[in-house]
Amino acid sequence: MVPTTIYHNPKCGTSRNTLAMLKEAGEDPQVIEYLITPPSRDELVSLIERMGIPTRDLLRQKGTPYDELGLGEDRWSDDQLIDFMMKHPILINRPIVVTAMGVALCRPSEKVLELLPEGAIASFTKEDGDVVGGPGA
């Protein structure tokens, strides 16, 4: 069985909401604070492949050295972008969640619902007051 894992940044509201939703669904996820314990290169490549997204889609721009490194330019290969993420883990967008149902970058946080059994969360109120699931959501 695949353990539920979240690559988490506790300073990020989206990441905190996602973790809270996992717990609300009865999950006891392995929490990896990826800025303290970044994934290995092989793990990062595997996560990207399992998410089925282009490498560039995992890059975070806000609050990172994205612009100063010129990462918006098309000249960078996937391998080079991964090199940048390994050198600067803050460039890895978050949260990434792994469950038995798949792997996803959970932005917005309610994307985590796609990785949980249907009905795992009846209703959840996010930090900003938005309600996920349930009537009126």
pLDDT tens digits, 48-102: 999 999 999 999 999 999 999 999 999 999 999 999 999 999 999 999 999 999 9
Catalytic residue among 6, 12, 48, 91: 12
Token pair 């990434």 is found at: 96
pTM as predicted: 0.93
pLDDT surpassing 80 at residue 135: no
Count structural domains, the chain.
Answer: 1
- Domain containing 121: what range? 5-132
Do 125 and 114 form a contact (C-beta atoms < 8 A)?
no
Task: Give kind and range of the element (H or E) at residue 65.
Answer: none
Inside any domain, residue 125: yes
Active site residue 12: yes
- Higher-confidence residue of 43 and 119: namely 43
pLDDT band of residue 134 (cuts 50, 70, 90) is low
Inside any domain, residue 35: yes
Q: What is the CATH number of the domain that holds 124?
A: 3.40.30.10
Q: Please calculate the CA angle 86-17-132 and round it to the nearest 5 degrees.
A: 130
Inside any domain, residue 137: no
Q: Which residues contact 78 (CB under 8 A, 6 or more apart)?
A: 54, 55, 56
Inside any domain, residue 106: yes
